[in-house]
Chains A and B, each alone.
Chain A
Amino acid sequence: MPVSLDHSRLIYDALKAHGVRLISALPETWLVHLIRFADEDPDTILVRLAKEEEGVGISMGAHFAGVRSALLMQNHGFLASVNGIVSGAQLFRVPLLMLISARGELGEPDPWQTEGGLVTRHVLDALRIPREDLTSPDHVEDRIAKAHVLAYASNRPVALLLGRDLMWEAA
């Protein structure tokens, strides 16, 4: 499978290094290794979701309980979660770290992903959710660290967009 194992490990280790103990996720191709790492890690609580918006609630509960969490999803899952983000995490000022696979951008071969790729960044901007791209292993650790700092300083959601160049390896 050409999803990058090494880069997935880099992301996972950075999440762990910043105290993430609960990960909720809805599987998608680019996230398979990340979800597997969480599943195999006895120190991480993995919650496999039926729909991504649930993960917003689970992360809110985890935060109230004093546990750092991350929500892994595809951009279409983010789009499906907007009400929970607005009237849950934002209304109640909950730091929410979202790792969103940025499907539908340059290089996307699947026609069904292309429309979401056009709107994801605009929706994040409309929601005033700070976003940063993860496109190279060189900045993964630094940007995950800074995303955590901002999420907890602002008590708001922060999004990291997982790019094709980071997640996908040429076959």
Chain B
Amino acid sequence: MSGRGGATGEGSRPAGGGRDPAGEIRMRRLAALEALYPRFEDERTVVVTIMGAVAAELQSLGHRPSFFYLQHAMGLASSIGLGIALCRPELTVVVLDGDGSVLMNLGGLTTLGRYRPPNLVHIVFDNESLLSVGGFPTATATGADLAGIAAAADVPRIERADTPEDVLAAFDRATGSGELTTIVAKVEAHYTVPAGAVGFVTPLGLLENRFQFARHLETLKGPRP
């Protein structure tokens, strides 16, 4: 990405990171979601996403009652995931976060690091921009390192993933580790409107999604005596 320059930025990148020789990020978020999607088919895995492209793209792969799309309240997807994970340790909770959202709630990373629920996987798609409001670059475009921030916030496991295969492998290591993991996946600032969506608006109503999701979590408790 233009504007990234100098010794500080590139020097901190992992070897063989997901950039082409010109320094452009190569992974598309949709490809990462496609790689992860089979893992989300377990009904005891629940997924909380941020708004915008992440929500629309995940829905385009097939909505499930175990998915909740936080279509606003930027920054709080990880807090919602923390609340679910602490209350329902028998579930696997996946938060699909973004750089803009994480930057709005950096304190929340310290809360994640403090309580570190072992059943939470926190995936940050870092496209270095606020894509849904015009693509303005975030601070990760100029060098802020969310994986480093998460590590410093005491999140016990950190992964960086640069290809869909890496994202899936990191996810499997996370769920196998029994420790809270933040996976930072650099993705292109790219969004193609999925069929059925208008911009970022999909046919699934916010409240329909919210009540269906809560009902799903209730049914996972098993039949009531």
- Let me know if B110 and A50 touch, CB within 8 A: yes
With A45-B86, A62-B87, A87-B72 as contacts: A54 and B213 at CB distance below 8 Å: no
- Let me know if B77 and A91 touch, CB within 8 A: no
With A58-B80, A66-B221 as contacts: A22 and B75 at CB distance below 8 Å: no
B102 at the interface (CB under 8 A from A): no
User: Interface centre among B71, B83, B84, B86, by most A CB within 10 Å?
Assistant: B83
B218 at the interface (CB under 8 A from A): yes
- Let me know if B111 and A22 touch, CB within 8 A: no
A65 at the interface (CB under 8 A from B): yes
A83 at the interface (CB under 8 A from B): yes
Q: In the complex, A65→B214 CA distance in Å?
A: 7
With A62-B83, A65-B88, A91-B206 as contacts: A57 and B76 at CB distance below 8 Å: yes
Q: In the complex, A32→B77 CA distance in Å?
A: 28
- Let me know if A61 and B84 touch, CB within 8 A: yes
Which of B85, B88, B111 lies in contact with A50, CB distance below 8 A? B111
17 more A-B residue pairs beyond the given contacts A54-B105, A64-B84, A64-B213, with a C-beta to C-beta distance below 8 A: A45-B86, A48-B114, A51-B108, A53-B75, A53-B76, A57-B77, A58-B79, A58-B83, A60-B79, A61-B82, A64-B80, A64-B83, A64-B214, A66-B217, A84-B76, A88-B72, A93-B210
Chain A interface (Cβ within 8 Å of chain B)? 21-22, 45, 47-51, 53-67, 69, 83-84, 87-88, 91-94
- The 9 lowest CB-CB distance pairs between A and B, nearest first, are A61-B83, A57-B79, A50-B107, A57-B76, A88-B73, A87-B72, A65-B87, A58-B83, A61-B80
Chain B interface (Cβ within 8 Å of chain A)? 48, 68, 70-88, 105, 107-108, 110-111, 114-115, 206-207, 210, 213-214, 217-218, 221
